[in-house]
């Protein structure tokens, strides 16, 4: 099936955005050393935990960061969501730099603080005997993450409507093909 010229142009634009987004997200997720960010995440999670009455100690072993008995790794920081959003925001054509910076700043700060809450909640659920770690960590974190990302998509779309326009035009093209 041949695509009509308009559809072909839209497909090229979508592939361009996906390519740029993927390149930025993968590069920023895998190349830097996130020890400082892991340390910051652990320290701030510990502050939040202490505020809600949970004993929290941050300690280090070499280049590893621990919050109580839990290792805080790159994947625990929420940086993967931040890098994907950065990739999307950078890849969007014809969006003013001020809108990009505002959207990225709001998304990055929101992800960071939401993630601190997630860490504290998971540990609270475990320490209070509500859920075992196998349920508190993965399924609970995944569910919270899905809702948080959905909210962030709405925020990003509000700030940069072109994101939703492109996504919906891609879905429209898929359904009509």
Q: Rounded to an integer, what distance in angstroms lies between the CA atom of residue 163 and that of residue 142?
A: 24
Q: What is the pLDDT of residue 152?
A: 80
pLDDT tens-digit map of 67-104:
999 999 998 898 988 998 899 999 988 889 999 999 99
Q: What is the pLDDT of residue 168?
A: 76
The residues, ordered by sequence, that sit 6+ positions from 66 with a Cβ below 8 Å of its Cβ are 42, 58, 59, 60, 72
Place of tokens 């925020």: 155
* DSSP calls for 12-55: HHHHHHHHHHHHHHHHHHHSS--HHHHHHHHHHHHHHHHHTT--
Q: How many residues does the chain have?
A: 177
Q: What is the pLDDT of residue 56?
A: 97
Asked whether the beta carbons of 44 and 67 are under 8 A apart, the reply is no
Q: Rounded to an integer, what distance in angstroms lies between the CA atom of residue 162 and that of residue 73?
A: 33
Q: What is the pLDDT of residue 65?
A: 97
Q: What is the pLDDT along the chain (177 residues), one digit of tens a residue?
A: 555 555 777 778 888 889 999 999 999 988 899 999 999 999 999 999 999 999 999 999 999 999 999 999 998 898 988 998 899 999 988 889 999 999 999 989 999 999 999 999 999 999 999 999 888 888 888 888 888 888 888 888 888 888 888 777 776 665 565
Q: What is the pLDDT of residue 36?
A: 95
Phi/psi for 135 (5° steps) reads -100, -35
- Total domain count for the chain? 1
Largest CA distance in the chain: 63
Domain encompassing residue 14: 5-176
Q: What is the pLDDT of residue 126?
A: 94
Q: What is the pLDDT of residue 119?
A: 94
The residues, ordered by sequence, that sit 6+ positions from 1 with a Cβ below 8 Å of its Cβ are 177
């Amino acid at each position: 099936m041949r695509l009509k010229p308009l559809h072909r142009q839209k497909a090229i634009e979508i592939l361009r955005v996906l390519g740029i987004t993927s390149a930025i997200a993968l590069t920023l997720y895998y190349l830097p050393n996130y020890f400082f960010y892991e340390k910051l995440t652990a320290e701030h999670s510990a502050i939040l935990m202490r505020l809600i009455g949970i004993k929290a100690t941050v300690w280090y072993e070499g280049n590893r960061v621990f919050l109580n008995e839990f290792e805080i790794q790159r994947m625990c920081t929420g940086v993967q969501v931040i890098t994907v959003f950065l990739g999307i925001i950078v890849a969007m054509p014809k969006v003013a730099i001020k809108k990009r910076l505002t959207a990225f700043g709001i998304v990055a700060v929101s992800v960071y603080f939401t993630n601190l809450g997630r860490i504290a909640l998971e540990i609270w659920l475990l320490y209070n005997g509500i859920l075992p770690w196998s349920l508190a960590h993965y399924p609970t974190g995944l569910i919270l993450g899905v809702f948080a990302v959905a909210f962030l998509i709405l925020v990003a779309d509000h700030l940069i409507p072109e994101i939703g326009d492109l996504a919906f035009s891609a879905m429209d093209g898929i359904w009509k093909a």
